[in-house]
Chain A
Amino acid sequence: MPIRVNIDIMMARRKITLGELAERIDITPANLSILKTGKARAVRFSTLCAICRELDCQVGDILEYVEGEEDDKEEKESNNDK
């Protein structure tokens, strides 16, 4: 996915664990882990808002656009077409 999620960097800076952050923003640790590992397909504004509030950061601190990184799914589909 061309959007990289740097939530683990912010979590380390704020010294907060995955479980604690998940509890504070009212999502399951499993879902937060999906977000952290970059497997999420989409993020709600409400979730972003809650994360930024708890980690005291901006959206740009957690999400980064990286040119050239293809989406896994799109890569598989383009390989299948070939």
Chain B
Amino acid sequence: MKKSIARRVNILYWLLIAVVAVILVWQLSSFFTGFAQGMSLSDEYLELHKEGRTMYAAPLDVKDYYTTDGADAYKHVITHTPDSSITVMARVATYGVRVEHDENISNPYAWMKKASVLLMVVEMVIYVLVLVFLFKTLQDIKRSMKNGTVFSRRVVRYARWTGILMIVCVVGFDIAMWLQGKYVLSLVEMCDTSLASMYMTPSPINSMVSIVIGLLVLFFAEVLGIGYDMSEEQKLTI
């Protein structure tokens, strides 16, 4: 294999590792911050439980955010200079909504709460698997190139699984967020129907970019498969 190609692949390999490592570190730091918040929340949760109550939170999007525009849309005055020469206004797209309720209230959407928690756990496991398969794919490509080949059946398999799991992970997370939002919205509706009509659940397919990347990885896996078949054919050409 040409040295220039091998060098370029090496650089891209380490760049990709570095970017994924930065993303992981950032996500881990968010995880630990969230974990600390979760610990204090769990104390609060236990206190509420003693009173026979529970709480749940989810983001809800403001419905008219996407339909209103112009200066009227920016309803919240944040700050301004003493002479009002500068005024800072804001509009809210998403509220973090928290609902506290009695544990034994009857809600036909209660199954959504359990389903979203279960789905979140499953998707977190799948997310870890995506990272594992991604690293294995890159590692295998690098190892194959050292041996003078680029294509191997294992690389094709790992790349295919990476693509599939990426799509499943993203869609699963979005569905879990939608279920969470739907459950919280149902509780808001039980309090005030007109207030509930001002909000909506986050769109179930928010992460289109990640889905496109997953599809690209699947496409890349198929191209690798074609390359593997061609290289095998070449090996059996006497």
Residues of A within 8 A of B (CB): 27, 31-32, 34-35, 39-44, 47
Contact = CB atoms under 8 A, between A and B. Distances in A.
Q: How large is the interface on B (under 10, 10 to 19, 20 to 34, 35 or more residues)?
A: under 10
B32 to A, nearest CB: 48
21 contacts: A27-B238, A31-B238, A32-B238, A34-B238, A35-B238, A39-B236, A40-B236, A40-B237, A40-B238, A41-B232, A41-B233, A41-B236, A41-B237, A42-B233, A42-B236, A42-B238, A43-B237, A43-B238, A44-B237, A44-B238, A47-B238
Interface in B155-169: none
Nearest to A27: B238
A35 B237 CA distance: 9
Contacts of B236: 34, 39-42
Nearest to A42: B237
Nearest to A41: B236
Nearest to A35: B238
A42 B233 CA distance: 8
Interface in B188-238: 232-233, 236-238
Interface string B143-187: 000000000000000000000000000000000000000000000
Contacts of B233: 41-42
A37 B233 CA distance: 16
Contacts of A41: 232-233, 236-237
A36 B186 CA distance: 73
Nearest to A33: B238
Nearest to B235: A41
A52 to B, nearest CB: 14
Nearest to A31: B238
B156 to A, nearest CB: 16
A33 to B, nearest CB: 10
B208 to A, nearest CB: 33
A44 B236 CA distance: 11
A41 B232 CA distance: 9
Contacts of B238: 27, 31-32, 34-35, 40, 42-44, 47
In this complex, the member of A39, A42, A44 whose beta carbon has the largest number of chain B beta carbons within 10 angstroms is A42
Contacts of B237: 40-44
Nearest to A25: B238
A30 to B, nearest CB: 10
Given A34-B236, A41-B237, A43-B238, 8 more contacts: A27-B238, A31-B238, A35-B238, A40-B236, A40-B238, A42-B236, A44-B238, A47-B238
